[in-house]
Structure 1
């Protein structure tokens, strides 16, 4: 069973399908319609609609278009985003997508599949540089330090996959990334001085991209809401419209998929960001730490 999935008989529920189903359920409720009414539009049973809304079956594009028409969803960008999520979920179930070439990603596979079609990511990391901003040498040093690999070739494949993710920052429809990083992550000598110097140089360069915001929470900020955990909020439409929260620990991967969880973590993220330095001051601190090395 892949991370982010659960099973019931021969059916599989995925993060993508649950999120898509939940969004269609929300749209149906806002339209004041029932499952039998949705089923009638689809020439299906209410039981099938229930399975769709719970993420137990893959979505067909015609069904999504019919339901969007029924629920009064006229924004073509919203409809297309729902279609993109459904397509990626189908590919995910059929083990398609570049990320599936890398079993070394392990629990990250489901996250990378979501990241590939996301419109934005907000990520808070207090202990290390976020994956989308890592250099190969830094990513390699982290993997070696985790002591979780038996084969050096697996480490190289893992690093290759992590770096491949970064294409989302510069592709034709680039991901909007807002990263907040603790000062400790910038001072920890992962891989040694040369590796960290190159990593900090890379941070300075990538932070100049128009779709990237990079803030640093300095030691002097004192206590703040991010001290007990790290997390990422992945968005698939306008901010807050379709968000999921991802948390990765040494023993498990946790997905928080409800609107309430997303709202709470977005609010927490913004409080952490307010503890951080302004973008220009963050860049200045990164440069100062780099020179100290």
Structure 2
């Protein structure tokens, strides 16, 4: 899976641009044309079309319309969805949010920019508490274990970024989050009993919020479809902006793109939800683990 590019400048490949580029590529191949023929319609060189199809440059509305006409895309609803997608990508490239200066390494800039405009996140966590739900102490314990001794100064920066991301859970238009957490993530003693008990109690508090749903997949559920690894699915309000999936690490991120791929992850998530405890029973389950966590 391709690793996301950190910089959000104009000449980098972004998730939304790659979605749009792959759709234009599919239209071109269906029309039986090569990149040179497409470039003629734009009064440009074939290299421009190649960059567009790979998502390396922002899309101008006239170029999108010209290519759709050339490829015989007559459905105006399809064209308008592509234009909205191009507009959203341009806005994301120009965004100068807090993450631009907070993330020195930049590995998560693109994800945070996407999360900042998402309306919903579905997250499956196999080994850790979801980042949006982590207490500062829990994140700090993870960061200390992850960085090398000469990078210990990065720990507080990582904690700060996690705390800032969690602001999306509150406000006038809070991010909706549906999390499914494997039982193992709840029992692993990250930071010791005191830190872990506080973390579990924090999950129970978050579950009272109307925009947050938390389910637990217990050990007794047995084999399940999401055993391959944790992932997040981001949903956007803009029509035409398909869900995107990412695998989140402490300081890195990988993307899964495409309509079929996104749909397969949505199906896996739904099947795992069906195997999991209900939100109510999940909270009783977490409370039981917290009470049994002794210092």
For residues 45-124 of structure 1, the aligned pairs below 5 Å read 48=48, 51-60=51-60, 72-73=76-77, 83-91=87-95, 96-104=96-104, 106-124=106-124
Q: Give me the CA root mean square deviation.
A: 3.8
Aligned residues: 281
Q: Which structure 1 segments of 5+ residues have no match?
A: none
The answer to whether the 8 Å contact 2:236/2:242 transfers is yes
Give the whole-Å Cα distance in 1 for the aligned partners of 2:60 and 2:24. 13
Q: Which structure 2 segments of 5+ residues have no match?
A: 69-73
Q: Higher mean Cα deviation, 136-145 or 48-57?
A: 48-57
What is the match of residue 272 of structure 2? 272
1:117-166 per-residue CA deviation (whole Å, 9 max, x = no partner) reads 11221111111101011011110011112244534331001100111011
Give the whole-Å Cα distance in 1 for the aligned partners of 2:194 and 2:279. 25
Q: TM-score, normalised by structure 1?
A: 0.78
Q: TM-score, normalised by structure 2?
A: 0.78
What is the match of residue 196 of structure 2? 196
What is the match of residue 262 of structure 1? 262
Give the whole-Å Cα distance in 1 for the aligned partners of 2:215 and 2:130. 12
SS in 1 for 2:117: coil
SS in 2 for 1:150: helix
After TM superposition, give the deviation of residue 191 of structure 1 in Å. Answer: 1.0
Q: Does 1:131 align with 2:135?
A: no
What is the match of residue 71 of structure 2? none
For residues 166-181 of structure 1, the aligned pairs below 5 Å read 166-181=166-181
The answer to whether the 8 Å contact 1:122/1:233 transfers is yes
SS in 1 for 2:285: helix
What is the match of residue 227 of structure 1? 227
SS in 2 for 1:178: strand
- Indicate the structure whose relative CO is greater, using CA pairs within 8 Å and at least 6 residues apart: 2
The answer to whether the 8 Å contact 2:3/2:255 transfers is no
Give the whole-Å Cα distance in 2 for the aligned partners of 1:126 and 1:195. 19
Give the whole-Å Cα distance in 2 for the aligned partners of 1:19 and 1:164. 28
For residues 8-47 of structure 1, the aligned pairs below 5 Å read 11-22=11-22
Give the whole-Å Cα distance in 1 for the aligned partners of 2:238 and 2:133. 23
Q: Higher mean Cα deviation, 242-251 or 180-189?
A: 242-251
